[in-house]
Amino acid sequence: MFAESGYDGVSLRHITRHAGVELALPNYYFGTKLELFKRVIERRSEILNKERMGTLTSLQNSASIDSIIIAFTEPVLRRTLSGDIGWKNYSRLVAQTANSPRWSREVMSHEFDPVALEFVRRTKICFPSAKDEEIFWGFHFLLGAMTITFAQTGRIDILSKELCKTTDLVGIHKRMVPFLSAGFAAICST
């Protein structure tokens, strides 16, 4: 429901009615709607973060930027392709949350900064002479591409008159990695 309507578009009453439980139940287990919202994000971020961190920290120091990008993006791709509608909804929810200044510190930083900083650290090894600023901008651009891609908004389908399909996540990922790699190389090698 949060993925479809956003935080403000859903009440606890809507959630409990949809779940078929008493209104007091989420309050008992989570407290406020905000705490429930945070827990919805946290539940799947824990899974992604563990996998991403494990893959990123296991990379050799000679790892290419392609390998670093894949280590960060592939877990989302695999989860989304699993057929579990919850992961597709999660990608939509993260896209909304990541694009709102309201949630930058309280939710996004809290849930994702350790893995993001490991990505940045790995990228610094890959581009040792790059300015930190350029690596952070590259990561910012990666997040933009990744969140819009995995949210599967359908925008590119409409714009391209169905030439491009947001449901072709494997094809998109195959294009996204070299595109982002070239972007990192362009701004980090100057």
Would residue 143 count as lying in a domain? Answer: yes
Contact by Cβ (8 Å): 52, 115: yes
pLDDT by residue (tens digit) across 61-78? 999 999 999 999 999 999
Q: How many domains does the chain have?
A: 1
pLDDT by residue (tens digit) across 128-174? 999 999 999 999 999 999 999 999 999 999 999 999 999 999 999 99
CATH number, residue 91? 1.10.357.10
Would residue 35 count as lying in a domain? Answer: no
pLDDT at 146: 94
Contact by Cβ (8 Å): 7, 107: no
**Who contacts 128 (Cβ-Cβ below 8 Å, separation ≥6)?**
none
The pTM score is 0.90
Would residue 153 count as lying in a domain? Answer: yes
pLDDT tops 80 at residue 36: yes
Would residue 174 count as lying in a domain? Answer: yes
Element spanning 17, H or E: helix 12-19
Side chain identity, residue 181 = S
**Who contacts 139 (Cβ-Cβ below 8 Å, separation ≥6)?**
116, 119, 120, 123
Domain that holds residue 134: 41-188
End-to-end CA distance of the chain: 45
3-state secondary structure of 153: coil
Would residue 112 count as lying in a domain? Answer: yes
